Amino acid sequence: MRDFDEVARAIAGIPFMSPAQGRLVYEHVQRTDARDVLELGTAHGVGAAYMAAAGANVTTVDFAGAHYDPSPEETARRAGVELTVVREFSSYTWWLKTQVEERSDAHGNVTPAYDFVYLDGAKNWTIDGLAVILIEKLLRPGGWLLMDDLHWTYAQDPHRDATDGIVHRELSEPERTEPHLRAVFDLIVAQHPSFTELRREDEWWGWARKHPGAPRTYSVTTSRPLSALITNTARKAARKARRRVASLR
């Protein structure tokens, strides 16, 4: 285990996870005593480094063609931690398929492997809708799934077209303007019989605990001032109204 502040200093300035978010995942790993952690979407390896610094064995997966400077190996070196970095040909969904396959017996029982999974990759309904189903099989009972960027939309990030493997202009208007991960969280994760403790934090993070049989709870928490939340809600209402007007034309 490494001191959080020392690690934050050693990897300062490397995108994409902020030190504030890093502290949250670091503290989550420590508080829940998560031994085995999986991250989907590595980039420079900052999130992975924070989780490894908290004492977890971290496996992190990205596209084979993903090249970052500094590389996740270099980030890990600076942070003084070790990571297992997997670079797959096409998508982490295929890698998850191989993991489920390897851990399945002839009766369809899957031996889970992770205490915490951080999903921070495609932000796409089709890819991550499948990913969360496979993740649930690999999560140990009591383990947590964390999804980043619940509010992200294609419309707000057109330049991503060049790197995310999705041709944005082929998406319908609702697919461009509605947050895919919020739909994955609300309609797949929160309604899945295994995930019973759900929490949305600051609108961009979704936490889900695998605890089948427990009473379902879904809470919303924020660390932001109330005024920011009201502005966000007003913006969403305006977006909805614009869509309604457009559909009436």
Ligand X SMILES: C[S@@+](CC[C@H](N)C(=O)[O-])C[C@H]1O[C@@H](n2cnc3c(N)ncnc32)[C@H](O)[C@@H]1O
Q: Which residues are near ligand X by CB under 6 A?
A: 16-17, 39, 41-44, 46-47, 62-63, 66, 91-92, 120-122, 127, 164
| Nearest distance in Å: CB 179, ligand X | 15
Rounded Cα distance, 5 and 200, in Å: 26
The closest of 92, 170, 176, 98 to 128, measured between CA atoms, is 92
Nearer to ligand X, 164 or 229 (CB): 164
Rounded Cα distance, 52 and 40, in Å: 14
Nearer to ligand X, 156 or 233 (CB): 156
Nearer to ligand X, 39 or 115 (CB): 39
| Nearest distance in Å: CB 123, ligand X | 8
Nearer to ligand X, 148 or 196 (CB): 148
Question: Tokens 């009473």 correspond to what residue?
Answer: 215
Token pair listed for 43: 């980039």
For the chain, the straight-line distance linking the first and the last C-alpha, in angstroms and rounded, comes to 59
| Nearest distance in Å: CB 68, ligand X | 7
Rounded Cα distance, 150 and 3, in Å: 29
| Nearest distance in Å: CB 159, ligand X | 14
**Residue number closest to ligand X, CB atom:** 47
